[in-house]
Amino acid sequence: MEILIVLVVLLICMLFLAAVLNVWLIAVYVVEGKALHTIARRRGFSAPWMAWIPFANAWLFGSISDQYQQKINGRICKRGKTLMALKIAIQAYTSVSGVLAGVAGSIIMLLQAPKGSDMETFLIVLLTAVCIELLPMLAITTVCDVVTYVACYDLYASSKPKQATLFLILSILTPATPFLIYACRNDDAGLPPEQTE
């Protein structure tokens, strides 16, 4: 009976944490979407509504960085396309690797069971498979993070150039990036003034 009570309490705690996490994720999505939409609209992007669409918002975010680089340095970057491709690759790899992990785990269990193998060998094989599976994900997410932080810096520099470095450090060290982008949504202090003809 005591175990049942402990399990019910754990379940309630997990449901509460899941609810809090979902509220946080929705708040982050709305804040970041509103910020990107505002910036894209103000800077003349033809489709600011893409700020609300998964994967397309990564393209829009990178394109804001591209626009800054083109105006300031005359460079044509492809961060919009790169970020969108990386986000799609992460999602696809996560989906595929989840299925493969289940299949591989089942195969390993079936191969090990008839031999009467010990648990230690089974765990070593399983952990090796998991590590091999996670290495590509680590590489993809690391590249995605680097490109994202470069794009963040460009966005911050285009909006609040004096605070760009501080904002970048805060983005790297805390989950505050959507709120920092939101703080930049109405500023263009780092962009050259528009030329009228």
- Which tens digit of pLDDT belongs to each residue from 106-130? 776 666 655 655 667 667 777 777 7
Residues 71-94: what's their mean pLDDT? Answer: 92
Residue with the bigger pLDDT between 44 and 134: it is 44
E strands in 146-186: none
> Do 79 and 68 meet the contact criterion of CB atoms below 8 Å apart?
no
Between 182 and 133, name the one with better pLDDT: 182
Rounded to an integer, what distance in angstroms lies between the CA atom of residue 75 and that of residue 67?
Answer: 9
CA distance 15 to 195: 55
